[in-house]
Chain A
Amino acid sequence: MSASAPAPRRGAPITDIASLRADFPGLHQQVRGKPLAYLDNAASSQCPVPVLDAMLRQQKMNHANVHRGVHELSSRATDAYEGARERIRAYINAASGTEIVYTRGTTESINLVASSLGGSLLGAGDEVLVTEMEHHSNIVPWQLVCERTGARLVPAPITERGELDVDAFERLLTERTRIVAVGHVSNALGTINPLRELIDKAHAAGAVVLVDGAQAMPHMRVDVRALDCDFYAFSGHKMYAPTGIGVLYGRETLLDRMPPYQGGGEMILTVSFDRSVWNSLPYKFEAGTPNVTGAVALGAAVDYLGGIDFDAVTEHERALLDYASERLLELDGARIIGTARHKAGVLSFVLGSIHAHDLGTIVDREGVAIRTGHHCAMPVMERFGVPATARASFALYNSREDVDRLAAGLRKALEIFA
């Protein structure tokens, strides 16, 4: 086994998306005696072989602590860790590796900004503007810092289709708005927000913008400089990498001015009992021994995604979503929650009076994995007057057959509850 990572795929980007299914061993198994149809990708997606190989190689041959060792393994681990950072930087087109902070995931990325930037920027009378479609992890960190600083959290409303009411958003943007925190793609509704437009409006009002990109990364190529966002948060496990690793992209000029989020090793240059001197970016925000294998895996995931034609991915997932919506609406009492004109591969629905939890159990017996509940978006459930929904969410490896299997499972539920 060689110590270094294999070169990323070269050559023309892959356009035959259906062929990629073979790369994901997790999909090729029987569940409850049936072939698995995995449709819970918005929660966590499966890992392809190159990601799994990179993890094993790192953990098996290069396992050591980073940055602080003079020995060979530590320097290999450091190279792999920093090499991954550089590839992630290039993948999202950040200007510099100093702007790529490794975190545990989207949640930690947002908490970092809320606590560090929010804590130093916000005061009584200031406002943080979010939207009604946010995941709890883009609501609660702001609530916490608002409580601490006397600032106010303001939610921009969404429409019956589950789209952001952009006019209302604009009206709520005032000189009191210091921070705008908005999701790129909604996990509960699938809505793709008109991000560039929102960012421009927020900047014009003098606000700093954080984007929750957790659901966008697996579905589209994101260019943080083209978006002109100030922060972009995402999780590895929703983009074909493992759990426990994520990224905060932050504009260097802002990160530079922000106080550290956590204290510990790695984030300091010198420590004495009088005073400590913070390390340079991005290390100032990476206290403690990091998730090296996770970072290496995320690097492998962006290599994998970098070799794929994303127009083809978008088309593939769009076709699946359309097909699934059609098949669903053939069923008695089916109602889709979230019918935005621009939607990623997320299908949230209710089926008559059958509770989502019962649907989830019944289709699981057919080998079909979906998510049921409030999807960490209770305000969205309240907005649509449902306690819970069932949600099928698509990744690039899903097929029409997966959708057919879901439809068959739902028919079974209708029979049981007839």
Chain B
Amino acid sequence: MNELNDLYREVILDHNRDPRNFGEIEDADRVVEGVNPLCGDKMTLYVKLDGDRIADVRFKGTGCAISVASSSLMTERVRGASVDESMRLYDSVHDMLTGSGAPSEDLDKLAALAGVREYPTRVKCASLAWHALRTALAGGEDRVSTE
């Protein structure tokens, strides 16, 4: 497998072509705007909570394949998950993108993003959605930037 194929894995190309959970949630509990000044990309994340569960989560915006696929994979994975579980996933994703060991097992399909860590300039593209999610769940600011 050459390195580019490792970055642009089939799962990523698929989620870029056909992003899941793309759109708005009108009665969202949390709305966070994420920007990646490096590529000028913007994404908005909508979260609807039911107690400490994520009842619904959607996103909207433009971005490179890595950032769109990462948002799509994330929403697919955390819908229905608890807030705690999602925060733990954030840590696992963060470790995968910036660390050197094997991706942790709980990542499952999200491990498709592991190739990104060989491309330091693209790590921010993959982590933008996750930063937005963490901010949304913490209920703090409504804007995050990867800078």
A291 contacts B by Cβ under 8 Å? no
Question: What are the residues of chain A within 8 A of B62 when measuring CB–CB?
Answer: 355, 387
Question: What are the residues of chain B within 8 A of A170 when measuring CB–CB?
Answer: none
B111 contacts A by Cβ under 8 Å? no
Contact in complex: A387, B119 (CB < 8 Å): no
Contact in complex: B65, A417 (CB < 8 Å): yes
Contact in complex: B40, A355 (CB < 8 Å): no
Known contacts A357-B64, A357-B125, A361-B121; A373 and B8 CB within 8 A of each other = no
Known contacts A355-B65, A361-B119; A388 and B4 CB within 8 A of each other = no
Known contacts A358-B65, A362-B4, A416-B13; A388 and B39 CB within 8 A of each other = yes
The one of A361, A381, A412, A416 in contact with B122, judged by C-beta atoms closer than 8 angstroms, is A361
Residue count of chain A within 8 Å CB distance of chain B: 18
CB interface residues, A 371-413, toward B, < 8 Å: 372-374, 378, 381, 387-388, 412
User: In the assembled complex, how far is the CB of residue A334 from the closest CB belonging to chain B, in whole angstroms?
Assistant: 18
- Docked pose: A355 CA to B64 CA in angstroms: 5
- Docked pose: A388 CA to B64 CA in angstroms: 10
Q: Which residue of B lies closest to A418 (CB)?
A: B13
Contact in complex: B64, A358 (CB < 8 Å): yes
Question: What are the residues of chain B within 8 A of A412 when measuring CB–CB?
Answer: 4
Question: What are the residues of chain B within 8 A of A378 when measuring CB–CB?
Answer: 40
B66 contacts A by Cβ under 8 Å? yes
- Docked pose: A412 CA to B7 CA in angstroms: 14
A196 contacts B by Cβ under 8 Å? no
- Docked pose: A412 CA to B119 CA in angstroms: 18
- Docked pose: A354 CA to B8 CA in angstroms: 12
Contact in complex: B4, A387 (CB < 8 Å): no
B118-133 interface bits toward A, Cβ cutoff 8 Å, 1 = contact, 0 = none: 0101100100000000
CB interface residues, B 26-69, toward A, < 8 Å: 38-42, 62-66
- Docked pose: A373 CA to B7 CA in angstroms: 20
Contact in complex: B39, A356 (CB < 8 Å): yes
B3 contacts A by Cβ under 8 Å? yes
User: In the assembled complex, how far is the CB of residue B125 from the closest CB belonging to chain A, in whole angstroms?
Assistant: 7
User: In the assembled complex, how far is the CB of residue B127 from the closest CB belonging to chain A, in whole angstroms?
Assistant: 14
Q: Which residue of A lies closest to B36 (CB)?
A: A357
Contact in complex: B121, A374 (CB < 8 Å): no
Question: What are the residues of chain B within 8 A of A372 when measuring CB–CB?
Answer: 39
Contact in complex: B4, A357 (CB < 8 Å): no
User: In the assembled complex, how far is the CB of residue A349 from the closest CB belonging to chain B, in whole angstroms?
Assistant: 16
The one of A355, A365, A416, A417 in contact with B39, judged by C-beta atoms closer than 8 angstroms, is A355
Identify the interface centre among A358, A372, A387: most chain B CB within 10 Å of its CB.
A358
Question: What are the residues of chain A within 8 A of B65 when measuring CB–CB?
Answer: 354-355, 358, 417
Q: Which residue of B lies closest to A372 (CB)?
A: B39
Question: What are the residues of chain B within 8 A of A355 when measuring CB–CB?
Answer: 39, 62-65
Can you report 30 residue pairs joining A to B where beta carbons are below 8 Å apart? A355-B39, A355-B63, A355-B65, A356-B64, A357-B38, A357-B39, A357-B41, A357-B64, A357-B66, A357-B125, A358-B8, A358-B66, A361-B7, A361-B119, A361-B122, A362-B4, A365-B4, A372-B39, A373-B39, A373-B40, A378-B40, A381-B40, A387-B42, A387-B62, A388-B39, A388-B40, A416-B4, A416-B5, A417-B8, A417-B65
Residue ranges of B at the interface with A (Cβ–Cβ < 8 Å)? 3-5, 7-8, 13, 38-42, 62-66, 119, 121-122, 125
